[in-house]
Structure 1
Amino acid sequence: MTTSETRESSRSTQFDLRHPALLGVAILTLSYLSVLYHVTNVVRGSTTLLLVVGATLALATLLGRFLRIRSALVLSALILVGGLAAYFFSVPESNRALFTVGRVVSDTIALLTGLSVLRLTKAGAWALAIAPGPVFLSWYLAVRREYVWSVVVGGGALGFFVLTGDAGAATTLLGVVGAAAAIGLDTLSTRGAWTAQLDTLAVVLAAMVVFSATLSIVPGGAAQPLLENRGAPTVESSLVSSSDRVTILGSIRLSPKVRFEVRSDSPEYWQVRSFDRYTGGDWVRTGEDETFSGRLDGPPGSSRTVVQNVKAKTSISNLPAAWKPVRVTGLDESTLRVTHQGNIVSTESVGVNESYRVRSEMPQYTREQLRRSGTDYPTRVSENYLQLPETTSDRVREKAAEVAGNETNAHDKARAIEQYLEANKEYSLTVQEPDGEIADTFLFEMDAGYCTYYATTMVVMLRSQGVPARFVSGYTTGQQVADDKYVVRGLDSHAWVQVYFPDVGWVDFDPTPSGPRQTAEGARLQEARQSEEAGVDTEETNPESSTTEPNTTETETPEPETPTDNTTNQSTSNRSSVDPNRILSQEALGANGPGETGELSVTTSDDTSGGLPSLPSRETLGVGLALMVGLAAGARRTGMTSRATRFVWMYYQGARQDPTADTERAFGRLEYLLERRYRPRRPRETPRSYLTALSKVGLDERATEVGELYERAHYGPGVSRDEADRAIALVDTLVREEIPVIGRIRN
C-alpha cells in the first residue's frame, strides 16, 4: 500500500457524523438542492427528487469508507453522464434532433449567463438528472474528511444556479455560510484552537455574507442583492420588457409617459408576452426563441385580419401587437424571433419615431361555439398550460371548484371565475407584497390587488379545473385620438388571461375590474398634466392644444348579455374606455404621486404623507446583523476593542468615589499616558523611580505632582477630597494636551 493510500485509509476511518464541519457541508448541499426542489415542485417530481437524493447520500456515505478518491471521481462522472442520457431520452423524439454539439454549447452558455432552469421544457427531468452527480461527490469527499474539496464541488453546483439566476439571495447566503462554516470548523477542529480562532471565523463568515448579499455575480443577471435596491424594477419593465420572467411586486405607481402610437383597423389589447410556467411566486416563459421565417400560422379556426402600424415615441424593447401576429414588416427580419408561445420579439430595441407594421389574424367565434369546443386539447397545450406547482394549496382548488365546478364547459368556467374576481376583490395599487403563493394569498388573505394578482389567480383557478390558460402581458388599447389611431402610455401596461379553446385558439379574458383601474389611470394622468411632467401628451392628446374633446373610447363594446350563435366576439373580456381628461381626487388614485421613471415602481410604504417608516426586510436585517458581528469580531481580533477601551478609560475619569480610589485611578490614567509617550514601567520599578527616570527626558512637573499624591494615597495617610480632585484635574489637562483634537471636541 502506498503512502497516499495509507493516508486515505487513515482519513476514512476517522469519519464521524458528529464532526462539526459536516454540518457546514450539509448546509451547502441543502442550499443548491433547494433550487432543484423548487424546480421539481413547480413542474412536479419533488418526491422523486427526495428519493434520488436520499439514495445518493446513502451510497456516498457507504462508499466513502473504502472507495478510493480516483475511483469515486470516475463513478461521479458516470452518474452525471447517465443522468444526462436519461434526460436526453425524456425529451420528445421530435426535439432530440436539436441536441447538436453547437446547440448544447450555446444552451450551456445561456444557462451560465442568466437563463433560468425553469425555462427548460423538461425542467423536472433535467433536475433529476443533474442532482445525483454533485451530491454524491461532495458528500463522498465530506465522508473522507476532505472538506475543502467537498466545498469546492458543492460551491460549484451552487455557483451554477447563481449564474442561471435560480439561486436567490437567501439561498446564496445560506450556501456561503455553509461553505465557510465547513472550512472554518474543520480548521478549528484540526488545530484545537477554538478560542483563538473563533473571531477569525466570524470575520470571514460576515465578509462572505455581506459580499454575497450585495453583489450580483453576473451583471444584468437574474440574481438580486439582498440589500435595499434604490433602483427598484418597475412593473412595466417586468410586464412588457424583453424579460423571460414576470415577478409579482408590492405597491406600485403609474407612469403617464407616452410609449407608442398605433393605427389599427380596430381597438385591441396590444400583447407583448405570454407565460406558461407558474412557480407560485412569478411567471416564466419556457422554450427557446426560433428564427422568424417571414410569416406565422394563424389560429386553428376562423379569423379576421387586423393591420396595425406602430410608431415608437420612446425606445421600446418589445413589439406590441394584437393576438395573433402572423407577419411583421418595417424591421430588419434578421432581428426578429418567435417565442415558444407564439409572440414575435426583436433582439434590438425600436428607436424613437421608428415604425413597424403588424398583420394579426384574430380568432373569430361565437359564445356558443366556445361552449361547444370541448376538451380535445393538443398535447403541447395540455402539457404546458395545465401546470401548477405541487404546493398549490387545496383551498385554492376547492375555491375554484366552488366558483366554477358546476359549469360544464371551459367558457362558462372562465366567465364564472372572471366575474367572481371582479365582484369580490377591490382594485388597488397599494398592496403589501405577499410572502407565500400568490393565488392563495390573493384569494384568502388580500382584499385588493392589481392586474398581475387578478390574472395570476384566474389562471391558477382555471388550471385547477382542467382548463388550459396562460398569463399575458402587454398594453390596453390606450387613448383614442382618431377613428383608427390610439396613443398608448406606460400606465396602459396590463396583465390579463388567455384561455385555449380547440378549433378556436387563445381567447382573451380580463378579470381586473375596468372601472377602478381606469379611475387610477385617469387620475395619474391628470396629476401629471397639472405637475407639467414631460412626455405625457402628444399634440393630439394635449387638452390645451385641442378645441374639441378628443374621442377617448378605447375599446370595443362589452359582450352582450344575451348573445346568439351568429354573434361574433374577438374577446369575452370586460374591455371598456377610460377618459384621461377626468379630474379625480388623489384618494381615488391609490398610488403615491409623481416622479417615477417607469410605468409602475415599487413603493416602500402604503402612505408617503407621514407615519412610521417601514421596517427593512428580514434578509436586510440578517445581513446587518452579520455585518455588526463581523465588525465586532474583527475589532477584537486586531486588538482595536482593547485599545479603544483603554483609550476611553484614559480619557474619562468616571464617577467620583472616595479620594483614595480616585487618586489611584488618576495615577493609572497618567501611567498609561506616559507609556504611550515614553515607555512602560518596568517590572519591580516603583512609581517614584519610574517618574524620576522620565524626568531626565523632560517629564512635566505636573506628572510628578500626581505621583506624589498617589504615594500619599496608596502608601501614606491618604489624601483629602480637594487633593484627589487636584490629581484628577492635572491628569485631565495632561491628556487633553497629549490628544488636542479630543480636547477641542470636549471644549
Structure 2
Amino acid sequence: MTAVSRDGEGGGVGGESGFDLRQPALLGVVALTLSYLSVLYHVTDVVGGSTTLLLVVGATLALATVLGRFLRVRSALVLTALILGGGLAAYFFSVPASNRALFTVERVVSDTVALLTGLSVLRLTKAGTWALAIAPGPVFLSWYLAVRRKYVWSVVVGGGALVFFVLTGDAGTTTTLFGVVGAAAAVGLATLGDRSAWAAQLDTLALVLAAMVVLSATLSVVPGGAAQPLLQDRGSPTVESSLVSSNDQVNILGSIRLSPEVRFEVRSDSREYWQTAAYDRYTGDGWVRSGEDEAYSGRLGGPPGSSRTVVQNVEAKTQMSALPAAWRPVKVDGISESSLRVTHQGSVVTTETLETNDSFQVRSEVPRYTREQLRRSGDDYPDRVAENYLQLPGTTSDRVREQAAEIAGNETNAYDKARAIERYLESSKEYSLTVQRPDGDITESFLFEMDAGYCTYYATSMVVMLRSQGVPARFVTGYTSGQQVADDKYVVRGLDSHAWVQIYFPEVGWVDFDPTPGDARENAENARLEEARQNQAEGVDTDETTPETPTPGEEDTETPTPGEEDTETSTPGEENATNQSTTNRSTLNPNRILSDAAGGGSSAATSPVTTPDSSGGLPSLPSRETLGVGLALMVGLAAGARRTGATTRVARFVWMYYQGARRDPTTDTERAFGRLEYLLERQYRPRRPRETPRSYLTALSKVGLDERATEVGRLYERAHYGPGVSRDEADRAIELVDELVREQLPVVGRRRN
C-alpha cells in the first residue's frame, strides 16, 4: 500500500506524489525559506556567530525530509509544537535567574505585541538564543509540507515567518522581495501540474509576481512602528535627526547636514556632554539598544565608585522627546514619573513630548577618577558588562582586529589602549560631513577605504577596535556642551548633536572618550552657524547669544599641561581638550571642512547634500532595490499587456496605420491588400473560406463598398496572380489603403481631429 492510501492526505513516495528535488515549485519554497532564515542568520551573526544556527537548520531540514515520506500531517503538527515548546524552554532557562520572574503571561503577551509592531529582534537581550529557539519550528513544518507537495500550505507557514520579521522591521526590502518572489513562484508553479501549460500561463505568473514585488516594496506594513525622533526633520538628514533620539537603533548614514537652530538651554555648574542614549549591540552597519525598558522608580543608582553631583535645569526651546543629561542621571523632576522609562543601558527616556518652554531638572552623579586610577582599574568586569559590551558580529574581519592589536596591543591596560586608539583615529582621518555611505561593515570601510568621516564613523570604529582587544565599550549619542552664555548656562543647538564613546572601568563605571577631531568639528559647526546668521535664519540665537559671545572650544576650553595628567578629570570637555593637545592637526584640511559645513557657499539648510564625486560627474544610479522593483514593474506591465491582449491590439494598430518600409512592388501590394482585408473585416465581415478576393469584393460592393477598395483588389490580382505591378502601381495601392484606414478606423479619426 502506498503512502497515499495510508495517509489519505496525499504526498507519498513514488509516482506523481513522490518527493522530487527537481520540482519547480520546490525552488520557490527554498527561496522563501532562505529569506526568513537570512534574518535569523543576521541576528545570530551580530551576537557572535551563526555556526550553531546553520547546524540546527541543517538537522531540521534532514529530519523534515525523512519524516515527510511517512509521517502523518497531524503528527507533524504535534511534533512542530513540541519543537517550538522545547526551543522556548531553552530560551527561558538561558535568561539569568534574576530576570525569569519577568516572564509572566502579561509580559510575554506585551513583548509579542511589541515585536509585531516594530520592536527589532536584536533588542532582545538573548537575541541569539531566541533565534536558535524559533528557527526549527517554521523550517521543519514548511519543509515537511513541501516534501509532501503541499506547496500552498508550505508557503503559508514560511510566509507567516517572513511576515513576522517584516513586522519586527528586521526583514529589509531585498529580503522581503526575495521571499515574496519565492512564495508566488511556489504557489504559481504548484498549480501548473501539466508542464505543457507553463508557457501559456507564464504571463499570468509573471503578472502576479510583479504585483506582489511592487506592493511589498511600496506599502508600509507597520506605520509608526519605530519610535519617533527627538526632532521632526524635513529634507536631507541632519546629524541630529540621525543620532539624538529615543529610538532603539542608530543607522550610519552617508552625507548629512548641520542644523543651527537652538534646541534647549541648560543651567549647570559644570560643563558636560548631554547624553540622550547609549547603544550596546553593533550590527555591522549601525547600533541597537538591546533589553527592555523599565519603569522609573524615583531614583537610580549611581556609578560604582566616587562621584560628584551635577544638577541640570533644562528648558526646551522646541519640541523634544528625549532627555539630555550628564552621565549618570539618578533623578528626574518636573516630568510625570509615569511617562519616564529607564533603558537597559541606564539612560532615562520619556514617552511624552516636551513642548517649547517646558522644563525639567536632572540630578546626575558624574564619576570622579584620575588617569592613574583608570590605568590601575584592571579587567575584572562584571558578567553583565562583559556579556553585553564585548559583542562583535561573527563576520568582523581579521584585519580590523589586527589593526586594533597593532595600535593598542602593546599597551597593558584599558585606559592606554583607549588613548592609543583615540589618538590614531584623530590623526589618521579627516573630518567631513560629506561622505559616501559605504557598503558592508562600517568599521572596516572607515579604517581601510575612507579618508574622512564624522562622529558616528569615529565612535563606531573606536568601540569596535576596543572590543576586539577585550575592552568593554559602547556607542553614545547626545549633545556636546553647547555655547556658554554665562558661568552656569549653556545654549545647545542642533549642530551640537554628537556621538562619542564610553568605556567601562571597574570601580569607576562608564567614562567618556571622544575620538572625533575636536577642532575640525567645531570649525564646521561655527561655519554653519555663521552662515545661518548671515542668511538671517530664524531660531539660531536667543537674547543671550550673539556672534561675539565666546563658544566652547575658544577661550573657555583650557588645555591641560602634561603635568596635569594625574589630576582628577571627569568631564568630556577636559578629557577632549587633553586629547586635542596631542593630535597631529596637520593632517586636517580646514578649507575642506568649511566647504562641507557651508555647502560650498550655498545654504546648507535648503541645498541638497552632495557626495564628493557629485560635482561634474555622472548622476548616481538608483539603489539595487529600486532597480529590482522597477524591473519587476516592467515585467508585470509586459505580462499584463500580453495577458489582456493589449500587445496584440497595439501591434495590429501599428500594422494597419503604417505600411512600413518599401520593398519590391509585389510584396508591398500584397501587404496593402492584407491591411484592406482586415479593415473590411472590421467594417463588414471576414472573407469566407474558399472565397476569392474578387468574389469577396464583389459581394461587398452590393452593400456600398468604396470604389478605392475595388481598385486595390484589381492591383492585388495583378501582383499575386498576374504579370505583376510597377512601383507606381504599388505606391498607388498603398496610398489608397492609407486613405481608407485614416477615414474609417475610429481611433485614427479621433487623432486626426
Query: What is the TM-score with the length of structure 2 in the denominator?
Result: 0.92
User: Which secondary structure state, in structure 1, belongs to the residue aligned with residue 225 of structure 2?
Assistant: coil
1:289 aligns with 2:308: no
1:692 aligns with 2:698: yes
Give 1:179-258 correspondences, 5 Å limit. Answer: 179-190=183-194, 192-221=196-225, 234-258=238-262
Matching residue of 1:226: none
Matched residues in 1 for 2:608 and 2:122: separation?
Answer: 25
Matching residue of 1:727: 733
1:708 aligns with 2:697: no
Letter in 1 for 2:674: G
Task: Tell me: CA distance 1:110–1:734, structure 2 relative to 1, closer, same or farther (3 Å).
Answer: same
Matching residue of 2:438: 434
Contact (CA 8 Å) 1:482, 1:551: kept in 2 or not?
no
Question: Which of 643, 656, 660 is the equivalent residue of 1:637?
Answer: 643
User: Which secondary structure state, in structure 2, belongs to the residue aligned with residue 128 of structure 1?
Assistant: helix
Matched residues in 1 for 2:433 and 2:521: separation?
Answer: 9
Matching residue of 1:359: 363
1:594 aligns with 2:603: yes
Matching residue of 1:617: 623
Task: Tell me: CA distance 1:395–1:206, structure 2 relative to 1, closer, same or farther (3 Å).
Answer: same
Q: CA deviation at 1:537?
A: 2.4
1:276 aligns with 2:276: no
Matched residues in 2 for 1:216 and 1:91: separation?
Answer: 33
Matched residues in 1 for 2:716 and 2:647: separation?
Answer: 29
Question: Which of 15, 21, 24 is the equivalent residue of 1:17?
Answer: 21
Q: CA deviation at 1:690?
A: 2.6
Matching residue of 1:116: 120
Question: Which of 554, 573, 576 is the equivalent residue of 1:574?
Answer: 576
Task: Tell me: CA distance 1:699–1:242, structure 2 relative to 1, closer, same or farther (3 Å).
Answer: farther
Give 1:446-465 correspondences, 5 Å limit. Answer: 446-465=450-469
Question: Which of 520, 525, 528 is the equivalent residue of 2:524?
Answer: 520
Question: Which of 39, 44, 49 is the equivalent residue of 1:40?
Answer: 44
Q: CA deviation at 1:698?
A: 3.8
Matched residues in 1 for 2:372 and 2:546: separation?
Answer: 43
Letter in 2 for 1:587: S
Letter in 1 for 2:317: K
Q: CA deviation at 1:264?
A: 1.7
Matched residues in 1 for 2:496 and 2:195: separation?
Answer: 65
Show CA shifts across 1:69-122 (max 9, x none). 000000000110011011111110000000000000000000010111111111
Contact (CA 8 Å) 1:477, 1:486: kept in 2 or not?
yes
Contact (CA 8 Å) 2:368, 2:568: kept in 1 or not?
no
1:341 aligns with 2:342: no
Contact (CA 8 Å) 2:4, 2:12: kept in 1 or not?
no
Letter in 1 for 2:564: P
Show CA shifts across 1:627-657 (max 9, x none). 1122212222222222211111111111111
Contact (CA 8 Å) 1:119, 1:284: kept in 2 or not?
yes
Contact (CA 8 Å) 1:276, 1:283: kept in 2 or not?
yes
1:421 aligns with 2:430: no
Matched residues in 1 for 2:163 and 2:50: separation?
Answer: 22
Query: What is the TM-score with the length of structure 1 in the denominator?
Result: 0.93
Matched residues in 1 for 2:598 and 2:392: separation?
Answer: 32
Matched residues in 2 for 1:159 and 1:726: separation?
Answer: 65
Matched residues in 1 for 2:598 and 2:376: separation?
Answer: 41
Give 1:21-420 correspondences, 5 Å limit. Answer: 21-190=25-194, 192-221=196-225, 234-420=238-424
Q: CA deviation at 1:6?
A: 4.9
Q: CA deviation at 1:66?
A: 0.5
Contact (CA 8 Å) 2:237, 2:256: kept in 1 or not?
no
Contact (CA 8 Å) 1:473, 1:494: kept in 2 or not?
yes
Matching residue of 1:546: none
Task: Tell me: CA distance 1:564–1:603, structure 2 relative to 1, closer, same or farther (3 Å).
Answer: closer
Matching residue of 1:736: 742
Matching residue of 2:587: none
Q: CA deviation at 1:588?
A: 5.0
Q: CA deviation at 1:146?
A: 0.6
Matched residues in 2 for 1:531 and 1:711: separation?
Answer: 82
User: Which secondary structure state, in structure 1, belongs to the residue aligned with residue 224 of structure 2?
Assistant: coil
Q: CA deviation at 1:716?
A: 2.6
Show CA shifts across 1:499-538 (max 9, x none). 1111111111110111221222222222223333332222
Contact (CA 8 Å) 1:365, 1:570: kept in 2 or not?
no
Q: In terms of mean alpha carbon deviation, does 624-633 or 502-511 score higher?
A: 624-633
User: Which secondary structure state, in structure 2, belongs to the residue aligned with residue 432 of structure 1?
Assistant: coil
Matched residues in 2 for 1:375 and 1:56: separation?
Answer: 41
Task: Tell me: CA distance 1:519–1:7, structure 2 relative to 1, closer, same or farther (3 Å).
Answer: same
Matched residues in 2 for 1:416 and 1:560: separation?
Answer: 18
User: Which secondary structure state, in structure 2, belongs to the residue aligned with residue 196 of structure 1?
Assistant: helix
Show CA shifts across 1:588-611 (max 9, x none). 5374753658xxx98464366553
Letter in 2 for 1:241: S
Matching residue of 2:583: none
Q: CA deviation at 1:191?
A: 6.2
Matching residue of 2:585: none
Q: CA deviation at 1:222?
A: 5.7
Matched residues in 2 for 1:583 and 1:283: separation?
Answer: 32
Question: RMSD across aligned C-alpha pairs, in angstroms?
Answer: 2.5
Matched residues in 2 for 1:103 and 1:665: separation?
Answer: 78
Contact (CA 8 Å) 2:11, 2:69: kept in 1 or not?
no
Show CA shifts across 1:217-268 (max 9, x none). 1112369xxxxx9966554223111210000111112222221122221221
1:471 aligns with 2:480: no
Matched residues in 2 for 1:314 and 1:83: separation?
Answer: 48
Matched residues in 1 for 2:308 and 2:203: separation?
Answer: 73
Q: CA deviation at 1:697?
A: 3.9
Q: CA deviation at 1:193?
A: 0.9
Show CA shifts across 1:291-346 (max 9, x none). 11111111111112222121111111111111111111111121111111111100
Contact (CA 8 Å) 2:226, 2:247: kept in 1 or not?
no
User: Which secondary structure state, in structure 2, belongs to the residue aligned with residue 160 of structure 1?
Assistant: helix
Matched residues in 2 for 1:208 and 1:398: separation?
Answer: 45
Contact (CA 8 Å) 1:12, 1:143: kept in 2 or not?
no
Show CA shifts across 1:386-442 (max 9, x none). 111111111111110100111111111111000000000111111111111111111
Matched residues in 1 for 2:529 and 2:421: separation?
Answer: 31
Q: In terms of mean alpha carbon deviation, does 731-740 or 205-214 score higher?
A: 731-740
Matched residues in 1 for 2:683 and 2:534: separation?
Answer: 69
Contact (CA 8 Å) 1:258, 1:535: kept in 2 or not?
yes
Contact (CA 8 Å) 2:4, 2:11: kept in 1 or not?
no
User: Which secondary structure state, in structure 2, belongs to the residue aligned with residue 309 of structure 1?
Assistant: strand
User: Which secondary structure state, in structure 2, belongs to the residue aligned with residue 296 of structure 1?
Assistant: coil
Q: In terms of mean alpha carbon deviation, does 484-493 or 265-274 score higher?
A: 484-493
Matching residue of 1:540: 544
Give % identity: 77
Task: Tell me: CA distance 1:272–1:49, structure 2 relative to 1, closer, same or farther (3 Å).
Answer: same
Show CA shifts across 1:652-687 (max 9, x none). 111111222212111212222233333322222222
Contact (CA 8 Å) 1:234, 1:602: kept in 2 or not?
no
Q: CA deviation at 1:721?
A: 2.0
